[in-house]
Amino acid sequence: MPFRKNLFFICLFFSFTFVAAQEKADDIVAKIRQTYEKMESLKGDFEQQYTWSLAGETQVLNGTLYLKKGDRYRVETPNQMIITDGKTVWTYSLDKKQVLVDRLEKSKENPLPRDLILKYTRDFKPRLLRSEKVGAVDCYVIALTPRDENAFVQSVTAWIDKSIWLALRIEQVDINDNKTVYLLKNAQRNLPLADGLFSLKIPEDVEIVDMR
């Protein structure tokens, strides 16, 4: 009888612990959303690692990201720049000397950089896993499970800076077991970024392909 009573209290303790952890996860997600929704601008270096499950190959891409309210962003990598003023998007391939010009289309299948984390916090159910450092930064580690069982992205793990509520690392696994890791470094928020960063003055010796 004492064993059964103790077992009951153990089960009760763990059920309360789960509820508290879930409340904590929901609170973290709320603070993340608030941070990204209120953010005027963001500049940071990034690394993207894509592992193709079938071939077992990993590709690594490094670059710099600029974001500004009004769906404006600029992504610079060694061979390419993607720039938008919120209406038009320019994809400039430096090695090919070619610029693709198109209308900016925003969709669930192709979220804008700022919307990526907002999509995760909206369409995925959070669960707090642990606290962990990314470099010297204290982070919460949360698991995000899609509410739609047929979602293309099947699981997401995010490392959230406890002091500024930014995602410093995001790992996602898709329905084909391919894994993508995003790392944000040297992040600076609410800088006075010039509007000129978010438009492209096309060089004269570059081929223009207008997709509009």
Contact in structure between 158 and 120 (CB atoms under 8 Å): yes
Residue 97 structure tokens: 């000397």
pLDDT band at residue 133 using 50, 70 and 90 as cut-offs: very high
Nearest to 74 by CA among 27, 121, 127, 112: 112
CATH for 154:
2.50.20.10
Please give the pLDDT value at position 123. 85
pLDDT tens track for 92-115: 999 999 999 998 875 444 455 566
Per the structure, how many domains does the chain have?
1
pLDDT band at residue 17 using 50, 70 and 90 as cut-offs: very low
pLDDT at 41 over 50: yes
Predicted model pTM: 0.79
Four-CA torsion 198, 161, 23, 4, nearest 10 degrees: 150
**Proportion of the chain above pLDDT 70, given as a percent:** 84
Nearest to 74 by CA among 211, 166, 199: 199
The domain of 195 spans 2-210
Contact in structure between 84 and 70 (CB atoms under 8 Å): no
Task: Sheet containing 167-174: give its strands across.
Answer: 124-134, 137-146, 153-161, 167-174, 179-189, 41-52, 57-68, 72-77, 80-84, 88-93, 98-103, 207-210
- Residue 19, helix vs strand vs coil: helix
The CB density around residue 183, as the number of other CB atoms within 10 Å, is 19
**Proportion of the chain above pLDDT 90, given as a percent:** 45
pLDDT band at residue 57 using 50, 70 and 90 as cut-offs: very high
pLDDT tens track for 157-174: 999 999 998 889 999 999
